[in-house]
Amino acid sequence: MLDEIKIGFEIHEQLATRTKLFCNCSTNYRDSDPNSNICEICTGQPGAKPMAVNREALEGAITIAMMLGCEIKREIIFLRKHYDYPDLPNGYQRTSTPVGVNGELAGVKIWEVHLEEDPGKYDPITGKVDYNRCGVPLIEIVTAPDIRSPEQAREFLRELMKIFDYSNKTRKEGGTMRVDVNISISNQARVEIKNINSIKGVYKALKYEIMRQKNLIKRGLKIRRETRAFIEDQMITKPMRLKEYAEDYRYIPDPDVLPIKITEEFLEKIKKKLPETPKEKEKKLMLKYNLPEDVARVIASEYELAKVYEEVAKHVDARFAAYWIKDELKRVLEYNDLTFTQSGIKVEHLVELLKMIRNEEITAKVGKKIIEKMINNKKSPREIAKEHGLLNVISDENIVQKIVLEVINEHKKAVQDYLSGKKEAVNYLIGQVMKKTRGRVKPQIVLKYLNQYLKR
């Protein structure tokens, strides 16, 4: 088909293990001095032999492969993938034959899931190398070129991030994902864009690349098979090298690593502990709490958030809590660019806040103000409410009446507007009453008195 876009991925993410894939060095390369977590194995010293493969890493890769619906292979062999770069002291990277094959996620076929070693870090400007990251276990996920647009690519990656989150097998600190994207248009040559480290970056790189390739095709030029780099600050891609072929890597089985047999027993053990997928959680929430799909989807978007919701629903009306979390809590999290886990909000505080709203101790409006102040705050919502004088709904209607009258007298222009037919002026007046009462009065009561007085 003309102009048909085909996009596929190779996604790399670090597995959360204490030690490296073939040695006992710590995987903590972020808060350690350069070259402090290294040994003769992960720096490829002559004669050094790898230890047996890290079981935790193997279990992590199989768990994720299972969650992606893959068929698990019973024998895994480690291959040496040769290339020359200063961050790779061995001169090759160990990468496994597929751990799992033929999975599916969000309508995209998962071809293969592999286990491999991360290289070190090389700074081409200073020429310094830090080997701490050498040998940290990575999972690699290879998809079919089933994706048809940058938007679908973004959606797929978001779903994959959710799987990682639910699996609890990848590193939590984030920023460790690296994506290689391949794209071809109208059956022209396939172009690969290497090492993009965010979903946003993938989206921008694809947008640029589609435009670039379509322009070339329009001018009757051929697309070269090549590897390009995404230059994030300029939002463009640049040629790196002509695309290498698999044979360039001279893959050979690593003679130092024995083939790994995956036993039925080992698989059963993993299956027993297999976490729910985000989709399964979504369906469960819909059924158990009678939630609409869009609400369940938002709550299931983060493992920790779904867990917290189920806890909250034990104490507060489940539907009320669900909508509140979807609309208000999510709004505050998104505004602050935080996940629920990062927000530091305690589940008991959330329960307390929702109960205060349900018991009409505070209005919904005040509740929204309080949740904004609950981010990384040790104080309970009741303490926050007290501190800001937000406690107690003004239920004495005489007081409400008095305030409404004050507002009418102070905002004659709005009253005139209202009387001359601008009905929306009433919202302004409600707003003024809310301001005076710091939101501690129910809008319905304000409206009742406003209507009474404005009719006179």
Which spans of this chain sit near Zn ion (rule: CB under 5 A)?
Answer: 23, 25, 39, 41-42
Helix (H) or strand (E) holding 335: helix 330-335
Exposure letters 211-248 (e unless 16+ CB within 10 A, then b): ebbeeebeeeeebeebbbbbeeeeebbeeeeebeeeee
Q: Which is nearer to Zn ion, 23 or 408 (CB)?
A: 23
Q: Which is nearer to Zn ion, 39 or 430 (CB)?
A: 39
Instruction: Output the smallest distance, CB 249 to Zn ion, in A.
Output: 23
Structure tokens at 265: 């027993």
Instruction: Output the smallest distance, CB 252 to Zn ion, in A.
Output: 22
Q: Which is nearer to Zn ion, 23 or 179 (CB)?
A: 23
What Cα–Cα distance (Å) separates residue 193 from each residue in 184, 187, 208?
Answer: 11, 17, 11
> Which residue bears the tokens 């507002």?
407
Instruction: Output the smallest distance, CB 145 to Zn ion, in A.
Output: 37
> Which residue bears the tokens 């104080």?
379
Exposure letters 51-74 (e unless 16+ CB within 10 A, then b): eebbebbbbbbbbbbbbbebebbe
Q: Which is nearer to Zn ion, 103 or 119 (CB)?
A: 119
The CA-CA-CA angle for residues 41, 51, 258, to 5°, reads 120
Instruction: Give the ranges where 192-277 is alpha helix by DSSP (H).
Output: 199-218, 264-273
Q: Which is nearer to Zn ion, 39 or 394 (CB)?
A: 39
Instruction: Output the smallest distance, CB 259 to Zn ion, in A.
Output: 22
Q: Which is nearer to Zn ion, 52 or 364 (CB)?
A: 52
Instruction: Output the smallest distance, CB 39 to Zn ion, in A.
Output: 3
Instruction: Output the smallest distance, CB 37 to Zn ion, in A.
Output: 7
Helix (H) or strand (E) holding 237: strand 236-242
Q: Which is nearer to Zn ion, 25 or 298 (CB)?
A: 25
Give the alpha-carbon dihedral of 357, 362, 364, 365, to 10 degrees.
-160
Handedness of CA 154, 157, 163, 164 (dihedral sign): negative
Q: Which is nearer to Zn ion, 25 or 434 (CB)?
A: 25
Instruction: State the pairing for strand pair 191-196/226-231.
Output: parallel
Instruction: Output the smallest distance, CB 254 to Zn ion, in A.
Output: 16
Find out whether 14 and 141 touch, Cβ atoms under 8 Å. no
Q: Which is nearer to Zn ion, 29 or 203 (CB)?
A: 29
Find out whether 27 and 132 touch, Cβ atoms under 8 Å. no
What Cα–Cα distance (Å) separates residue 173 from each residue in 13, 128, 165, 405?
Answer: 12, 25, 11, 54
Instruction: Output the smallest distance, CB 245 to Zn ion, in A.
Output: 31
Instruction: Output the smallest distance, CB 51 to Zn ion, in A.
Output: 9
